[in-house]
Amino acid sequence: MGILDLLFPKKCVACKKFGAYICDKCFSYLSFDIKSLCLVCNRPSVNGLTHPGCSGKYTVDGCFSALPYNKTAKKLIFSFKYKPYLTDLSKVLSDLFYEGLIQNEGFNRELQNSNSWFFVPIPLYSSKLKKRGYNQAEILAKELGKRLNLETQNLLKRVKNTKTQVGLKVEERKTNIKGAFSIIHNSKFIIQNVMLVDDVVTTGSTLLECANVLKRNGAKRVIGLTLARD
């Protein structure tokens, strides 16, 4: 046991039992049983791809998530956003993220269809990033990248300090997030196929908006990847 374990003894983030950041019992409440939905119409779709009829020139092509956003997943992700838990939880959560994704046939097919994928994390607004000290989506993207041997690029920036999407209706979310992102130009870099990485997807308005920006800037295929699906 290290000195840090004595100062900050490990506790389960869900039930507070001492010993590990997630105890065996709470771990068993997590599931990989995710509903595959089209991000545009929120109706079931094969493997989480956007329906051909819902798709347009600048629409996200699909979205894959690892875990349903249940009570335990919620607690894990909430704790991940606060520093003392960061290092240990990033490993636990990235393993879950990876395991959930590789079980998805659609995700594997996307990986095999192209060798030019890279990960782009959904950015935080500058003041929020400063306050938190890190972007949780970027950490997840980089950890996934290590496991899948893919590069992470910060290609988007948040140009509008939007109010939280929590509690907003679908249409309000779309309006709130519109124009919130722009591309970070890098002349040496040609955008091709992007997997957008975020911690949670709810209505998909953030992923749709980011995919729109990326496709307007030359991206061919854009897929959303989230640790949890609400």
Binding site for Zn ion (CB under 5 A): 12, 14-15, 17, 23, 26, 38, 40-41, 51, 54
Under the phi-then-psi rule, with left for phi > 0, alpha for psi from -120 to 50, and beta for the rest, what region is 48? left
* Smallest gap from residue 98 Cβ to Zn ion (A): 22
List beta partners, residue 194. Answer: 118, 222
CB atoms inside a 10 Å sphere around CB 132? 14
> Is the Cβ of residue 50 or residue 135 nearer to Zn ion in the bound state?
50
* Smallest gap from residue 2 Cβ to Zn ion (A): 22
> Is the Cβ of residue 40 or residue 155 nearer to Zn ion in the bound state?
40
Return d(Cα 32, Cα 22) in angstroms, integer.
16
* Smallest gap from residue 227 Cβ to Zn ion (A): 19
Q: Which of 88, 138, 89 is CA-nearest to residue 118?
A: 138
> Is the Cβ of residue 16 or residue 130 nearer to Zn ion in the bound state?
16
Widest Cα–Cα separation across the chain:
58
> Is the Cβ of residue 17 or residue 174 nearer to Zn ion in the bound state?
17
* Smallest gap from residue 38 Cβ to Zn ion (A): 3
List beta partners, residue 198. Answer: 226
